[in-house]
Each structure stands twice: as structure tokens, then as C-alpha cells.
């Protein structure tokens, strides 16, 4: 059964400052238009790539008018689009124009054929949980954000260990000296958390991973907590400490700052092409089962 009517209006989103992708974006836009879709291009993408053949739209307009966002780039491009569009519920599909690409399912070499099958209704839809984080200093919230991959409390350029305590739902868990702490969603479990020896969480897993970064005490191990948990990190020693989300450095942290992390109300929806398998993707990206 065809479900192509679901995607009558499609937005194109690319990596910023990558003029080399202009030709691919134009090819995508012309293909989608020929298939009967209304096509627009995210305005910063259009400006940075120098593409003028399609209407330009803000993320707000994409959120209110589009049925699908096609993201050309790597995981960073998908993360950025997800944060911008989470409140609007617009589903995303990724074309891998980056390197590893855990979230960009479609290979650039087969993008037109695969997108054609998606428009014909051959796809699956998957919801992914996001994080909501805020920094409280004194009685004031000084910063808040959404994250699809992770929220990270990290040491800065000085390179000295930071110290913080962690509470889950108000209960004291541990006092930790380390390079930092990663709070990762299942989506983010294959990102920074994985390189810090965190567990891989299946996307449907209703939990978050807390992964210490180079802990001073080697007995501090990653733990997985319920996605309904309220995670609180209180900075005790914070020389040059910073908060990162989805790989973006954003907020300097001071002693006694509280970083509060919960499940976000918003979820992001991924459209997967026919034949998608999470475990097949892991085998491919992580080279499981290969002879060396």
C-alpha cells in the first residue's frame, strides 16, 4: 500500500559551509519535484551552498508546512535538524554525506532510488527519545537545551579533573572525580559514550546511560537508569568545567551549579528506508564479525 501522500511537502537540509554539496542538493530537489513533492530548502543551507532554485524556509516554516525533512550530511547535521524540528514533529531521513553516519541511513550513491521507494510508501517510522537539560545557578536557570545524543559535563582546556556529585530522583548516587560525565540517550549510546566504554542501548530501550569519562576511581562504571529518572549533577570543583550537548560546547560551569537532565517531552521521528536493520547498521559501522 502506498503511503506517498504522507510526504507531499519535503524540506532539504544540508551541512553549513559545504558548497560542494550544492549539486547533490539540486539533484535531490529536482528528483523530489519530478515525483510531485513540493520542495523547499532550509535558508541557511541555501545561502551557504549558493542554491537558489527552490523556495527558502526557516526551521519554523519547515515545522509548520513540511511532511518530511531530508538531511544531507553526517550525524552532526541530523542532530542539528532534530533539535530544530523536535517541537514540530517533522520526521527526518538522512543521506550520508559524512563519515561514520549512525543516523544517516541512505548511501549517497543510491539516494534517488532509495528515496523513490520511500515516496512509494516503502519505509518504517521510529521514534527516538531526547534529553532536556538545564543549568541552575543559585535560583536561576541560566541555560536550557534539548539533545538527541547526549548531555556532557566535561573538563575544559585547563585539563584538571573536575569533581561533582550525582543524584537520581533526589537520591545520592556517588561523588566523582573525573574528566566528566556523559548522560546519553539510546541514540547517543553509539557516540561519545561508546568511546568512553559505555553500553550500546537499543533505540527502543526506555533508559539513559550515565558514563564517567576517565574516572579517578576505576570502580566507577557506566550505569543505565530509567528514562523517567531525574538526573542531577552538582559541581563541587569546576575549574574551567563546561556543558556540552550533542557535541556542541555551550555553557561554562561554576562550582555549585546544578545540571538537571530529564527526558524531553518532545521526541524525534526517523524515517528508515526499506530493509533497515539497527543491528545490521551496527555490524557495518563497528565492523562486527569481520576477520582481521
CA distances from 190 to 43, 151, 197, 203, 282 (A): 30, 14, 10, 10, 9
Alpha helices by DSSP H, listed for 141-236, are: 192-195
- Mark whether 75 is an active-site residue: yes
Residue among 75, 105, 246, 257 flagged as catalytic: 75
Give the H or E element holding residue 115. Answer: helix 111-119
Q: How far is CA 77 from CA 81, 193, 236, 239, 256, in A?
A: 6, 19, 34, 31, 33
What are the distances in angstroms from CA 45 to CA 107, 192, 207, 238? 20, 26, 34, 37
Interstrand relation of 231-237 and 223-226 (parallel, antiparallel or unpaired): unpaired
5: which DSSP letter?
Answer: G
Beta carbons of 148 and 193 less than 8 angstroms apart = no
C-beta of residue 130 within 8 angstroms of C-beta of residue 146: yes
Among 149, 201, 159, which residue's Cα sits nearest to residue 180?
A: 159
Q: How far apart are CA 90 and CA 81, in angstroms?
A: 10
Reference 244, options 121, 172, 152, 135; nearest CA is 152
Residues annotated as catalytic are 75
Amino acid at each position: 500500500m502506498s503511503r506517498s501522500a504522507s510526504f507531499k511537502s519535503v524540506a532539504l537540509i544540508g551541512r553549513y559551509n559545504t558548497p560542494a554539496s550544492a549539486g547533490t542538493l539540486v539533484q535531490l530537489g529536482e528528483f523530489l519535484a519530478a515525483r510531485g513533492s513540493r520542495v523547499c530548502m532550509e535558508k541557511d543551507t541555501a545561502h551557504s551552498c549558493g542554491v537558489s532554485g527552490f523556495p527558502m524556509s526557516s526551521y519554523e516554516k519547515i515545522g509548520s508546512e513540511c511532511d518530511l525533512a531530508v538531511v544531507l550530511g553526517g550525524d552532526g547535521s541530523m542532530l542539528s535538524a532534530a533539535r530544530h524540528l523536535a517541537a514540530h514533529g517533522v520526521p527526518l531521513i538522512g543521506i550520508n554525506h559524512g563519515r561514520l553516519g549512525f543516523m544517516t541511513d541512505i548511501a549517497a550513491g543510491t539516494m534517488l532510488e532509495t528515496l523513490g521507494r520511500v515516496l512509494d510508501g516503502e519505509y518504517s517510522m521510529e521514534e527516538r527519545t531526547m534529553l532536556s537539560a538545564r543549568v541552575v545557578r543559585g535560583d536561576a536557570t541560566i541555560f536550557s537545551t534539548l539533545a538527541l545524543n547526549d548531555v556532557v559535563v566535561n573538563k575544559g582546556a585547563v585539563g584538571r579533573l573536575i569533581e561533582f556529585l550525582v543524584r537520581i530522583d533526589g537520591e545520592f548516587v556517588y561523588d566523582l572525580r573525573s574528566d566528566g560525565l556523559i548522560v546519553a540517550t539510546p541514540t547517543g549510546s553509539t557516540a561519545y559514550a561508546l568511546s568512553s566504554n559505555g553500553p550500546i542501548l537499543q533505540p527502543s530501550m526506555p533508559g539513559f546511560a550515565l558514563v564517567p569519562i576517565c574516572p579517578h576511581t576505576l570502580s566507577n562504571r557506566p550505569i543505565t537508569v530509567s528514562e523517567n529518572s531525574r538526573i542531577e549533577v552538582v559541581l563541587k570543583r569546576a575549574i574551567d568545567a563546561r556543558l556540552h550537548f550533542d557535541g556542541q560546547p555551550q555553557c561554562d560551569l561554576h562550582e555549585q551549579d546544578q545540571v538537571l537532565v530529564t527526558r524531553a517531552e518532545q521526541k524525534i521521528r526517523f524515517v528508515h528506508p526499506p530493509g533497515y536493520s539497527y543491528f545490521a547498521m551496527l555490524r557495518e559501522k563497528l565492523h562486527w564479525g569481520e576477520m582481521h
